[in-house]
Amino acid sequence: MSTDPHFDLDAPWMLHEQVSVRPERFGALLYHFGTRRLSFLKSPDLLSVVNGLAAAASAREACTGAGVPAEQHEQYRAALATLAASHMIRPRSAA
């Protein structure tokens, strides 16, 4: 999977307010009530990153806070870019 250079790891992100998270052993299921789409988080670490987005200053900080090593941030950029493209996460306003 290639990374999306347009997804900004240094920007603030959050779980979309219409998304429900159901933790599972493999990671989690995300369901968007607006689009009626289902997404799978295939690792508990990615779930930790997604859960940390709202409290972190940036997606990169959420990755670090979830214990993701810096050398793996590009892999997480790709996963987060996919979640952003499917409207599971969205940019968080500075307000």
- Kindly report, residue by residue over 49-78, the tens digit of the pLDDT: 999 999 999 999 999 999 999 999 999 999
- The boundaries of the domain holding residue 57 are 13-90
Q: What percent of the chain has pLDDT over 90?
A: 89
Please work out, in degrees rounded to the nearest 5, the angle formed at the alpha carbon of residue 79 by the alpha carbons of 76 and 82: 145
Q: Quick one: pLDDT at residue 37?
A: 95
Is 25 part of any domain?
yes
Total count of domains within the chain = 1
Residues 49/52/53/57 CA torsion (nearest 10 deg): -120
Spatial distance between the Cα atoms of 26 and 20, rounded to a whole number of angstroms:
17
Is 2 part of any domain?
no
Beta bridge partners of 27: 24
pLDDT, average across residues 5-14: 89
Is 3 part of any domain?
no
Is 95 part of any domain?
no
Question: Do the Cβ atoms of 52 and 65 come closer than 8 Å?
Answer: yes
Confidence of residue 93 (pLDDT cuts 50, 70, 90): confident
Is 7 part of any domain?
no
Is 33 part of any domain?
yes
What global pTM score does this model have? 0.89
Instruction: Supply the CATH number for residue 26's domain.
Output: 3.90.930
